[in-house]
Chain A
Amino acid sequence: MDLGLVAQYTMNGLMLGMMYALVAVGFTLFFGVLDVIKFSHGDVLTVGAFTALASFIGLQSIGLTSDAVELLAMLVAALGAMALLGAFIARAFILPLRSAPALNTLLITLMLGTVLREAVRLFYPDGANPKPFPRLLPADSINIGNFNLRLDNAILLTAGALVIVGLQLLLNRTKLGLAIRAVAQDEETAKTMGVNFNAIVLITFAIGSALAAFAGLMNGLYYNEINFGIGLYLGVVGFSAAIIGGLGSIYGAILGGFLFAGLQTIGAVALPFASAYKDVFAFAVVIALMAWRPTGLIPEKLSERV
């Protein structure tokens, strides 16, 4: 195969993988601190993308035209609003169910996801139709043989990588990160050490949801189109990525995200049968991996609670 094509496939796969990884990291953060699976995570991403779009339209209507300022405002609005929404979901639906069976949390967030998704469809003007997302990044591109490298894709990929590195620094180098890790490791001990458990949980959910909003914005800028259903699929893929990586492990989630994107690309390109089966292929490999490593590729370091 032509080298340019390989480069193109790799670039496509990396873009997909970055989005999957950002979603997967959210799942893994939530599971880390509270041992819950929050199925509305994907739909928070959708709401984030639509918040960004709405703020763009708002800025346009007051006559603002600078791409950079608009982008910054969209970023702040989407991330801020979704951080609040994430904290609110944790406060109102997840923390009160702490002592209930885990299945209840799973169900309530699943239903909440449907509510969010349908709310976008019904209440956003013409929400059932695909919406064009503005092109705010420079669209310059260079053609190297069959490889078309676009500046906007490169910027998105770098931004995604920076966000993940930033999260890593936050978790490992700050007092807040220490508190999150403490809660993740042992809730009781963390509380005795003076960590404000509820506050840490809310902050973690805010961070995870802001990451989803970032992924939503990235999705919009990459495809220049969003619709009310994007979060559903990204949620399922992100969750699977978090599981194969090892739920609770940040590196695992990132690895899982890129692995899943790689599998899809291979499924579409290298397999002899039609690309319609690429998801079948990717999910089948996930099933095989889970049978082989039930706790994921990089399992969470667990101290068994007795």
Chain B
Amino acid sequence: MFAGWGKTDLKEVRMNRFLSLAAAFICAGALGVTGGVSSSHAKEKIKVGFVGPLTGGTSANGLGGRNSADLAVRLRNADAEAKYEYEMVALDDECKPNVGVQQATKLATDKEIIAAATHYCSAVAIATVDVYHKFGLPVIVWGAVLPDITYRNKYAEVHRVNGTMINQNERNAELSSSLGYKTFAVIHDTTDYGKGHNKYFSEALAKHGGKIVGTFGVTSDQQDFSAELTQIKSLNPQAIYFGGLTPIGVRIRGQMDKLGLNTVLFDGTSGIKSDSYIDGLGKLAEGSLSFIEGAPTELLPGGKFFLEKYNDQNYPSPPEAYGGFAFAAMNLILDTIEQVGSDRKKVQATLNKVKDRDSIVGKITFDDHGQNTVALITAFVVQDGKWVVWEDSEYASGKRKLPGQK
């Protein structure tokens, strides 16, 4: 355990050294270009933090987020008009709540750090909100989607630029209603994840005038759904909404076919947005819907600008799905510090009032829980064995019809 600590520290020291070197290098470059603006020597140095999974199974997303946040810092440091010089401290939460809490404490108790972009994994993000609240560090979550992170408490320190499963279910209800689906049967797994989907979808659907004819909670490893589906068949809904993950999603869609439920839309969530859903079902996957928070980076409002700048830096790994959000979060932090200076309280107060702020992920407005309310959601549909962005699909253009669509 102690060895582990030593290693983390060493890695971090190396990382810091690398980042400060990189920052210094870029500053030097900027000086060279501008012919040496004397005032930049006097710039005050300010530290900001970043936390994400930099090792382990989700490290691709963590590293993409880290690079993207780093890009925001580099661009700012290269900007001659910036009032301060920034240094980013990047820590690894390993996507583990216990590690995340340690790293959050490390960041939050370092008074030199003014604000931070934090966490990709929901389980880590929800575990650390209390730490940030206790030590008064303003943070912006850049990737985790569990609503509770912003909505369970009303912590003024915690903000989030990406959407939650609330947003995704609103988009889902809106899209399916607009396509003429009015009656739904809900199948959800009985974990917090599935229950959350059920709750938020039911609420969103009510707003759009849709009706839920039956709700079925199932265990996340159930094999046989014939009893539930037979009951659903007798309720005769136009669509089955499924709040759960790929493995049972595959089974439910497969067994719908067995019971002759092929004119019913299979309306999924981010939980089935994976290639293994299509691999598991083959042709039956055709016409299934799913929704994810965020968008393919190139489709973000400022995606093109972001990708160009990102590629200029020659990072060894791509930004991944949430890189744009990490960039937007860090950029928002830097903007705020430029505006009010290196004071956590002032930064927090200013962040809480963010409204209609332009960013590469679109306009950002924080509600009274610090949640971005205009978050972007992308709908997908399976077309010819691939998840296709809804707007680009032949289903949206009217060339093909979804199951049961009139």
Q: Name A residues whose Cβ lies closer than 8 Å to a Cβ of B.
A: 2, 5, 8-9, 12, 15-16, 126, 129-132, 141, 143, 146, 148, 150, 153, 222-225, 227, 229-230, 233-234, 264-265, 268-269, 274-276, 278-279
Contacts and interface: CB of A to CB of B under 8 A. Distances in A.
Contact of B279 (A129, A230, A276, A279): A129
Given A8-B259, A275-B218, A225 B254 contact: yes
25 contacts: A5-B230, A5-B233, A9-B227, A9-B230, A12-B226, A12-B227, A16-B226, A126-B279, A129-B247, A130-B251, A132-B282, A150-B258, A224-B254, A225-B250, A225-B280, A225-B281, A264-B224, A264-B227, A268-B228, A269-B230, A274-B217, A275-B228, A276-B218, A276-B219, A279-B219
Nearest to B255: A223
B68 interface: no
A16 B224 contact: yes
Contacts of A153: 258
A19 to B, nearest CB: 9
B218 to A, nearest CB: 6
Nearest to B251: A225
Given A2-B234, A225-B254, A275-B227, A130 B216 contact: no
A148 B257 CA distance: 11
Nearest to B189: A276
B215 interface: yes
The B interface is mostly helix, strand or loop, or mixed, namely helix
A146 B223 contact: no
Given A233-B223, A268-B228, 14 more contacts: A8-B233, A12-B224, A12-B226, A15-B226, A126-B279, A130-B280, A132-B280, A153-B258, A223-B224, A225-B250, A229-B221, A264-B227, A268-B231, A269-B227
A225 B228 CA distance: 18
Interface of B: 190, 215-219, 221, 223-224, 226-228, 230-231, 233-234, 246-247, 250-251, 254-255, 257-260, 276, 279-282
Contact of B260 (A129, A148, A229): A148
A153 B230 CA distance: 15
Contacts of A148: 259-260
A143 B251 contact: no
Contact of B233 (A131, A146, A268): A146
Contacts, number: 88
Contacts of B223: 223, 230, 233-234
Contacts of B231: 268-269, 275
Contacts of A229: 221
B217 to A, nearest CB: 4
B256 to A, nearest CB: 11
A268 B254 CA distance: 19
The A interface is mostly helix, strand or loop, or mixed, namely helix
B286 to A, nearest CB: 14
Given A223-B251, A268-B231, A269-B231, A275 B216 contact: yes
A225 B276 CA distance: 12
A274 B215 CA distance: 8
B251 A12 contact: no
B280 A8 contact: no
B254 A223 contact: yes
Contacts of A8: 230, 233, 259
B260 A131 contact: no
Contacts of B247: 129-130, 227
Shortest Cβ-Cβ A-B pairs, 6 listed:
A268-B227, A276-B217, A12-B226, A148-B260, A130-B280, A129-B276
Nearest to B227: A268
B247 to A, nearest CB: 5
A227 B281 CA distance: 13
A230 B248 CA distance: 12
Contacts of B251: 130, 223, 225
Contacts of A129: 246-247, 276, 279-280
Contacts of B224: 12, 16, 223, 264
A19 B233 CA distance: 24
Nearest to A266: B227
Contacts of A278: 227
A82 to B, nearest CB: 20
B268 to A, nearest CB: 15
Nearest to B280: A130
Contacts of B218: 275-276
Given A132-B282, A146-B234, A229-B221, A276 B190 contact: yes
B329 to A, nearest CB: 32
Contacts of B255: 223
B228 A5 contact: no
Contacts of A150: 258
Contacts of B216: 274-276
A276 B248 CA distance: 14
Contacts of A276: 190, 216-219
B221 A233 contact: yes
Contacts of A224: 254, 257-258
A225 B249 CA distance: 11
